[in-house]
Amino acid sequence: MTKPEQEETITSTWSNPLRVPCDLRLPRIADPCTLVIFGVTGDLARKKLLPAIYDLANRGLLPPGFGLIGFGRREWSDDDFKQWAQSYIQEHCRTPFHQSTWEQLSHGFYFVQGTFDDFNAFVRLKQRVLTVDHECGTYSNHAFYMSIPPRAFSLVSHQLAAAELTKHPSDTWQRVIIEKPFGHDLASAQELDKTVTSVFGAESIFRIDHYLGKETVQNLLALRFTNMLFEPIWNSHYVDHVQITMAEDFGIGSRAGYYDGVGAARDVIQNHLLQLLTLTAMEKPASFTSQDLSKEKINVLSAVRLPQDLARYTARGQYSAGWQGQEAVCGYLNEDGVSPESTTETYAALRLDIDTPRWNGTPFYLRAGKRLGKRVTEIAMIFKQIPQPLFDSVVEGNVGHNALVFRIQPNEGITLRFGSKVPGSRIDIRDVNMDFNYGQAFTEDSPEAYERLILDVFLGDAPLFPTSQEVDLSWKILDPIEQFWASQGQPEQYRSGTWGPHSADMLMMNDNRAWRMP
């Protein structure tokens, strides 16, 4: 092989071609760009977005030409904004805080005061964007992060277009980042997509689902498609059923204005849990590109079949007063901002079947809830039992199904449960766990999900972002369930600190199964 064949041309952030040896350890550095954050003073920006930007800078993954503009109602100067941002970055950043990194990064921090309905504010924003392009060398590449309520997406998109902030030279890019929820049903999701697409174009829209940025979620694909050990048994011949759980041990807090009327199913099942289902059930993609990944996820969502008896195979509940650890907590209907007649569910569970050759006959059970026994998100593959166990007469009573469990949060890792002989002269079999933990196995810290996803936006790489077709198919699955629940009146009450309503246990008992206790 000749020397030119051993080298690749890499374009630097300053658009100068460099001849360097091909080295997979070299990080991918994004093009120079400006990030505009709408809703920069909100919880998400304070606790996740700004710290993620700092951590990217600290890891050397931001381009030298980078600027950040915060858009908000507060009457701040640029220095006020920098001081405020530093306090939250120091509190929430994952990597060590270095003053030198912060000084270099904050040199490109700016603030624009205004409201979404004030067109003059967007005119001022355009002038500031042009200034940042000149002062920071961002080459007219702009990303707009809508960390705002979904009802404001349309207004902000039209204001950006009216101020000509979405126009750009052909060799630059403009991208928009949208936080879930992507609508509240199929019709609203399609209307939202129509509005945003008319301004930015489909290829420039990045729909954030932060669960897809978590290390264990991505490791699910790595484990499946790089290990011959698992792929042969990843099907209905060996898998009895799959449980996908997102349990939270806290209530709605101050989110009543958002949560009441939305509920657990729309909040996390339509997006987070259905996306986890697609990654668990999909066929091997041709590549890790966004097109090939999305194709396989769409195939799964298209093959999902709802149970005919929704009363039997769905469950919803609402937490009542109880104890969370040693703290007495109120019920959902007594939370500030919640109507005493609210029928919004804080717990949702359902069974789905996937009509593909791989999964025909293996049900998928999804559940999500607040004020449950502990905080945990996991995917549990429960395997079938041996038809004729050799040690049936000596097996202890606590031996169950083999299980492969992906712990997504907290304590990211993977657990394999299997039967093993108890030490001693007798042949006693007992379930044991084999654990893989990221914190123990690797010296590198796992990047926070928003670090990975924001960097992917800057790179224009979208394998972990749901497409509009995936969003539509997810709503087609959930809408009939929501319509059924709307006709059922008040959800069943469950005591805070427990694992949900009795109807959820009955959902599993109908199939002679039971929920895992994480």
Separation CA 159–CA 166 (nearest Å): 10
Taking phi over 0 as left and psi of -120 to 50 as alpha, with beta for the rest, 411 belongs to left
Token duo for residue 231? 């792929």
pLDDT for position 20: 38
10-61 residue pLDDT tens: 333 333 333 334 444 446 778 899 999 999 999 899 999 999 999 999 999 9
pLDDT for position 249: 95
- Pick from 301, 298, 309: nearest CA to 355: 301
In b/e form, how buried is each residue of 25-44, taking b as 16+ CB within 10 angstroms?
eeeebbbbbbbbbbbbbbeb
pLDDT for position 300: 98
Owner of token pair 């299980």: 403
pLDDT for position 48: 95
Token duo for residue 403? 């299980």
Query: Residue 493: exposed, middle, or buried by beta-carbon count in 10 A (0-12, 13-18, 19+)?
Result: middle
pLDDT for position 13: 35
Query: Residue 326: exposed, middle, or buried by beta-carbon count in 10 A (0-12, 13-18, 19+)?
Result: exposed
383-438 residue pLDDT tens: 998 876 665 555 555 567 899 999 988 888 899 998 887 887 777 777 888 888 87
**Domains in the chain: boundaries:** 4-179, 212-383+464-509
pLDDT for position 119: 97
Arch. (CATH architecture) of 212-383+464-509: 2-Layer Sandwich (3.30)
pLDDT for position 169: 82
pLDDT for position 3: 39
Radius of gyration of the chain (CA): 25
Q: Which residues of the chain have pLDDT under 50?
A: 1-26
Residue 274 backbone dihedrals phi, psi, to 5 degrees:
-70, -30
In sequence order, what are the residues at sequence separation of 6 or more whose Cβ sits closer than 8 angstroms to the Cβ of residue 149? 258
pLDDT for position 218: 80
pLDDT for position 391: 59
Q: Provide the annotated active-site residues.
A: 272
Give CATH for domain 4-179: 3.40.50.720
Separation CA 506–CA 513 (nearest Å): 9
Nearest-5° Cα angle at 351, 348 to 343: 25
pLDDT for position 12: 36
